[in-house]
Structure 1
């Protein structure tokens, strides 16, 4: 179990990466948010390659 150090208000905080459940990607339209997220999903799933279409949705879902 590895921990990463984060800075929070100038104080170093140890975080166990296994406890991270949510991630937020913020950026302008066309900046690659979906591409980076699908790449992360591919790496986390053990496939090593980006997935395709996992994060896309249809108009009726919004």
Structure 2
């Protein structure tokens, strides 16, 4: 389960919009929001892209309980 609040904080700090991030991941904005809200899971490749895009040091926010 993704830590939605930590990911949203990282997005806000990046200065990018959710729409821009969705496009970078080759997702619709709605598809990205489903993943952000834990309705569907992020793929490993999407996690890698997000970590690079948002300059996240580790992937722990994608594996919260």
Task: Determine if the TM-score, normalized by the shorter chain, exceeds 0.5.
Answer: no
Q: TM-score range by the shorter chain?
A: under 0.3
TM-score (norm 1): 0.27
Larger strand fraction of residues: 1
Select the structure with the greater relative contact order (CA < 8 A; seq sep ≥ 6): 2
The structure where helix makes up a greater share of residues is 2
